[in-house]
Amino acid sequence: MPISKHYFATLTHEQLEQYRTDPDQPAGWYIYHIDLRNDGAIPSRTALMHLLLSLLMKRGLLLFSSPLPYHQEITKRMGFHQVEGATHFDFGPNLPSPTYLLDLRGERQRKYFDLLLQQVGVSLALSLPEGIFNFTSKEREVALLVMSTQSNAEIAESLNVTEAAIKKHLGRIYMKAEVRGKIQLLKKLMEATVR
């Protein structure tokens, strides 16, 4: 308040409920910059990027409001969307300050980073060396999904099989890789792909 009130005034009662969390578990972060007269200055840009990058590592809703054109442009380039009806003039009568939102709740954070990496040309394809641990083709498929940190239920859904079938595959995979669980398997698979 007062700057964040413009965003919250655009929400319905149901949308406001998203923000009800335990005090030690914030629903998100509201970012705004004040006392910056030159958004073209390197220290200003560095401070903004440092702040945004640190918050991208946390899950939740990120809200941003600034009258500075560079700040507005960088947030749009980073995937923030302007919130309709939440532009305000609290920084001054000649300084329109739109509010931008980036939703990084749950799976959206992983998808956001996947998209970001694709945009800069980083391959996201996981792979395993041929013949690793003498896995069958189905076991390789399950092992790759384990590497993407999916749960048994998610793996089962991805492969259109039951969770019981995945547990059977994992049992054989653990035996072949000589590990006792997913964490050990993940570590061993990661080590094998780095060699």
pTM for the full model? Answer: 0.59
Note the pLDDT of residue 20: 83
Q: How far apart are CA 183 and CA 155, in angstroms?
A: 16
Domain ranges of the chain: 5-119, 132-194
Q: Where are the beta strands (DSSP E) in 52-160?
A: 61-65, 81-82, 99-103
Supply the pLDDT for residue 149: 67
31-86: pLDDT as tens digits: 876 555 666 677 777 877 788 888 887 778 889 898 888 888 888 988 999 999 99
Give the pLDDT of residue 167: 93
Note the pLDDT of residue 172: 95
Q: Which pLDDT value is given to residue 13?
A: 92
Q: Retrieve residue 28's tokens.
A: 């998100």
**Amino acid 94: pLDDT:** 92
List, for the chain, all residue ranges whose pLDDT scores fall below the cut of 50: none
What local confidence, expressed as pLDDT, does residue 121 receive?
65
Contacts (Cβ under 8 Å, ≥6 apart) of 109? 56, 59
In CATH terms, is domain 132-194 a member of 2.60.450.10? no
What token pair was written down for 138? Answer: 């189905």
pLDDT at res. 59: 77
CA–CA distance, 195 with 190 (Å, rounded to integer):
9
Residue 69 · residue 40 · CB < 8 Å: no
